[in-house]
Each structure stands twice: as C-alpha cells, then as structure tokens.
C-alpha cells in the first residue's frame, strides 16, 4: 500500500467502537495515515454518522474518494439493536436519563409484530432534539444540552424492513433496513408511542451500508496495525 493509493482514493471499512464519535474515527485514521507515510495532509471523511452509543459499520473515504461520500451516504442501511419498552428519555437513547415511565402490561407478541408492519414504507419522521442537525448554524444537541427547545421539521424516510427478532420484555431486539436520513432513535421512540407505551433505544449496531458489510470491517486500531505492516 502506497501513499498514492490513499490519495487516489480508498474505502476503509471500520467497525466503530462504542463511545467513539464518527469524527474521532476519521481523526484517528487521518493521523495514522499521515504518520505512516510521513505526509502533512490527506483528505479523510466518513459516509454516514454513527452516534457514540452505536457500534458497527462506518465507511471511511480517503483522497479523491471523499467526493463519493454523498453517493455512499445515499445507500440503504441495515441495523440491529435493542429497544427498551415502558420508558422514554429526552435523547431517545441511553445518553440521557429516563424522564417518563409507562405500563407494558398490555403489550403482547402479536401486538409487537403487528405494530412493526405499520412502519414499513414511506413515513414522516421527526429527528431527535439530541442530534447533529444544524438549526441556524447551531447543532441541535448543543441547544438541547442547554435546555433550549426549538421547532424541528419532519423528514420523509423509507423503511424497507422492520422486524422483531427477540422478545424479553421490557426489551425487544430488532432488525431494520432503511433509507438515508433515518434516525433509529426516533424509530424506537415512535414505536413506543404506537404501542400506547414508551420506548427508547438501548443498543444499536450498523451491519450494512449498500453492498458493504460489517463482517469485513475492523477496528480503527486494528486497521492502523495492519497498515504499518504493509510498509
């Protein structure tokens, strides 16, 4: 592997660790490539943000392939994860504390499987207030952490497949295949509402993005270790 390969463009499949931001992965790989080849500059970017509390497939593009980021971001994504029923949090996940609890006594396997079907197709979804979307140049999570509220517009997204893979109330495991722009945290929150209860996302893993699969991905540290052996 030569520095020219990275400048001409590489797609690096990273399995993002828990608690890492997507930007931290980009920063780590950029630093590693620069150090490995003793260069001052290299373009590195990611094709689709993963929240710090999510793990899984993160596409990293280098050099000229950074121009393809929009193309890769537009691809269909697959996720697996866990939803906790009977409670909500302001962030729709475990980043914030539970703010309200609800009964789950009425929730049955039949009801769970029936409700998932109502989410298939085009739906209007409201992004979480704790998100990186910008409003008037300020990221929403910055406003949320200050306790400020702001109006968020819904966005049209598409759910290709959504099914429950395991039930162990109050948690349910799921698999979802969705379009660009889908917030799985919002899906979990809306799922709870549709069940006449509450819900928040308690784990998430991206398994596929377009034709790319997390089974072929490695951790940032593992990738840099392998890169050093190629010199």
Cα distances from 224 to residues 57, 68, 72, in angstroms, run 17, 23, 23
Look at residues 115, 141, 126, 125 and name the one whose alpha carbon lies nearest to residue 52. Answer: 141
In angstroms, the CA 166 to CA 60 distance is 32
Annotated catalytic residues are: 51
What's the per-residue H, E or C state across 51-103? CCCEEEEEEEEEHHHHHHHHHHHCCCEEEEEEEEECEECCCCCCCCCCCEECC
Q: Residue 29, SS3?
A: helix
Residues 6+ apart with CB under 8 A from 13: 57, 58, 59, 60, 212, 214, 216, 217, 218
Q: Which residues of 80-107 are buried (b: 16+ CB within 10 A; e: fewer)?
A: bbbbbbbbbbbbbbebeeeeeebebeeb
């Amino acid at each position: 592997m030569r520095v020219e390969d990275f400048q001409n463009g590489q797609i690096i499949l990273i399995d993002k660790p828990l608690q890492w931001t997507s930007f931290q992965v980009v920063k780590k790989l950029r630093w590693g490539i620069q150090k490995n080849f003793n260069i001052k500059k290299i373009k590195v970017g990611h094709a689709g943000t993963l929240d710090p509390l999510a793990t899984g497939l993160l596409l990293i593009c280098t050099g000229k392939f950074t121009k393809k980021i929009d193309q890769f971001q537009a691809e269909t994504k697959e996720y697996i994860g866990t939803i906790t029923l009977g409670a909500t949090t302001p962030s729709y996940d475990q980043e914030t504390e539970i703010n309200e609890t609800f009964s789950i006594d009425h929730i049955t396997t039949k009801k769970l499987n029936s409700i998932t079907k109502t989410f298939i197709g085009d739906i209007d979804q409201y992004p979480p207030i704790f998100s990186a979307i910008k409003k008037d140049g300020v990221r929403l999570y910055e406003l949320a952490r200050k306790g400020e509220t702001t109006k968020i517009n819904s966005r049209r997204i598409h759910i290709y497949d959504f099914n429950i893979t395991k039930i162990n109330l109050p948690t349910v495991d799921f698999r979802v295949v969705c379009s660009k722009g889908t917030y799985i945290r919002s899906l979990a929150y809306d799922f709870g509402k549709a069940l006449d209860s509450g819900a928040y996302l308690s784990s998430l893993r991206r398994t596929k993005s377009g034709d790319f699969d997390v089974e072929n991905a490695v951790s940032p540290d593992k990738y840099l270790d392998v890169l050093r052996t190629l010199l």
